[in-house]
Amino acid sequence: MIAPAMTRPDKVTLPAASLGERAAVVALVIAVHVGLGLAWMMRPEQAAIAVSEMSVSVAMQQAEMAKPQAQPEPPPPKPQPRIERAEKPVTKQPVQEAAEAAPQPVAAAPVQTVTAPPAVAAAPVADTAPDFKAAYLNNPRPAYPMAARRMGWEGRVVLNVEVLAEGSCGDVNVFQSSGHEVLDNAALRTVKGWHFVPASRAGRPITQWFKVPIQFSLKENEA
């Protein structure tokens, strides 16, 4: 046989509370809370903890512990016994022994004075002028121009010559004319090729101007 199927019970519905009951429950809850509040407020007060006194006492105790303990003074040093040294007796030696022990003075050797010979003063070097008459120079005489011979011109020309330090001839010009240009030009051409002994000053050759006279004459024995 098949058992009858189990049926689910229907929902139980509680009767709805009335408005008056709800108001009574709310009033009861409020009254309980008010009573608890009053009981909390009316409880006896506890004694206050003196925190400040505790902190002060701890600070004083720490300060006392931080103070260094006084160290006992060391005992005074014991006086050490004084040791006296016996002085040695001074023995007097005879004066004769002291005289013998004294060193004899050594005679100093005579100092020889060496006199230096007097210095010989160097002879002053004389300054010299240029020279063109030295035999080893081989300076030729100016050629007599043929036109001047035919015309019978004669004269003396003086040239101003620059003699260089190496002995050669620098610049040349006519200081005094012979009166004939042909004779002056002949003298200039010849002297420009001459060599000289240069002038010297304090033994050293220097460049110097020098006057050279040249005589033109048709007579055989005149320079």
Dump pLDDT digits (tens) for 47-57: 444 443 343 33
Residue 23 backbone dihedrals phi, psi, to 5 degrees: -65, -35
| pLDDT for residue 57 | 36
3-state secondary structure of 34: helix
Give 53-96 pLDDT, tens digit per residue: 343 333 444 445 555 555 666 666 666 656 556 555 555 555 45
Domains of the chain are: 135-216 (3.30.2420.10)
| pLDDT for residue 58 | 36
3-state secondary structure of 23: helix
Give 7-61 pLDDT, tens digit per residue: 555 555 555 567 888 888 888 889 888 888 888 777 765 544 444 334 333 344 4
According to DSSP, the β-strands at 155-163 and 199-201 are unpaired
Its pTM surpasses 0.75: no
Q: Is residue 165 within 8 Å of 210, Cβ to Cβ? A: no
